[in-house]
């Protein structure tokens, strides 16, 4: 399909957020159960923010063997797991079952720099390739914690980067952050971009027109040819 004449990988548009949530959940449930049926386990990467919360709550209700699911995060703020700003806190409260295999990005180190190597090692043990990666997108076109003003943007977007995760900082955000790199996110079978609102739809259009990953980091996901991308969008 197309957004204002621009051909996308795949875009799924829904009339409202309730319809989007239902259809996204149906698709993810089917994909996870199919992977479990074939391989006896599956893995998924999820993102934080307010947009995915209804999806998390709905997915948690579905008939899935959570003991065979490996979950990690696309990114995390270096804050306590009990903080309201923690993505781990969000998924624990709204998605994770007691027997889910979860790999957090934050550990007990005081700083992201001190904890980076431990997180890297844990991610190396996490099941890959991921069956599904679900990403959000900010109004600055960032995904995960890969921002237009990230000082290490080139490394974060390097498709051949051997690091699974890196520290990312932005002058507009007060916390240290750790994020999966683009190369890690591309070690997956499917990428979903889950967004709502006309403003974010316009950002996708602008990213495709500009073809500029530095201004619109999300374009790095849209332009790559390695992994199928589906956009799930509603007003």
Query: Residue 7: its pLDDT value, please?
Result: 43
Residue ranges of domains in the chain: 2-234
What is residue 174's predicted lDDT score, i.e. its pLDDT? 85
In a 13 Å sphere around the CA of 194, the CA atoms on its Cβ side amount to 31
Show the tokens assigned to 117.
């190597």
Pick the CATH number of 2-234 from 3.30.1600.10, 1.10.3720.10, 3.30.300.30, 3.40.50.1360: 3.40.50.1360
Alpha carbon 87 to its chain centroid, in Å, reads 11
The torsion of the CA quartet 77, 80, 84, 88, rounded to 10 degrees, works out to 70
Q: Are strands 42-46 and 69-73 parallel, antiparallel or unpaired?
A: parallel
Least confident segment among 5-14, 172-181, 184-193? 5-14
Q: What are phi and psi of 208, to 5 degrees?
A: -65, -35
Cβ within 8 Å of residue 175, ≥6 positions away: 77, 78, 79, 85
Residue 141 has pLDDT above 90, yes or no: yes
Q: Are 54 and 85 in contact (CB under 8 A)?
A: no
pLDDT for res 125: 95
| pTM for the full predicted model | 0.95
Q: What is the tens place of the pLDDT at every residue in 93-119?
A: 999 998 999 999 999 999 999 999 999
pLDDT digits (tens, 9 = 90+) for 205-235: 999 999 999 999 999 999 999 999 999 999 9
- For the segment 196-211, the average pLDDT, to the nearest whole number, is 96
Mean pLDDT score across all residues of the chain: 95
Across the range 127-142, mean pLDDT stands at 97
């Amino acid at each position: 399909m197309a957004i204002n004449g621009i051909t996308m990988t795949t875009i799924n548009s829904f009339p409202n957020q309730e319809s989007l949530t239902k259809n996204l959940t149906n698709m993810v449930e089917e994909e996870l159960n199919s992977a479990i049926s074939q391989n006896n386990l599956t893995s998924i990467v999820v993102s934080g923010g307010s947009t995915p919360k209804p999806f998390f709550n709905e997915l948690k209700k579905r008939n899935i063997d959570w003991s065979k699911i490996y979950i990690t995060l696309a990114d995390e703020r270096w804050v306590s797991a009990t903080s309201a700003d923690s993505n781990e806190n969000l998924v624990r409260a709204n998605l994770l079952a007691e027997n889910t295999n979860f790999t957090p990005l934050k550990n007990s180190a005081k700083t992201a720099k001190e904890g980076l190597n431990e997180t890297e090692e844990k991610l190396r043990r996490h099941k890959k390739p991921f069956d599904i990666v679900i990403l959000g997108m900010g109004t600055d076109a960032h995904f995960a914690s890969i921002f237009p003003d990230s000082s290490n943007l080139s490394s974060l977007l390097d498709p051949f980067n051997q690091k699974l995760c890196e520290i990312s900082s932005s002058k507009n955000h007060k916390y240290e952050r750790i994020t999966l790199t683009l190369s890690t996110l591309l070690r997956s079978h499917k990428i979903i971009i889950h967004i709502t609102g006309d403003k974010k739809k316009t950002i996708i259009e602008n990213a495709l027109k500009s073809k500029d990953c530095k201004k619109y980091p999300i374009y790095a996901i849209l332009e790559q040819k390695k992994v199928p991308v589906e956009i799930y969008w509603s007003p």
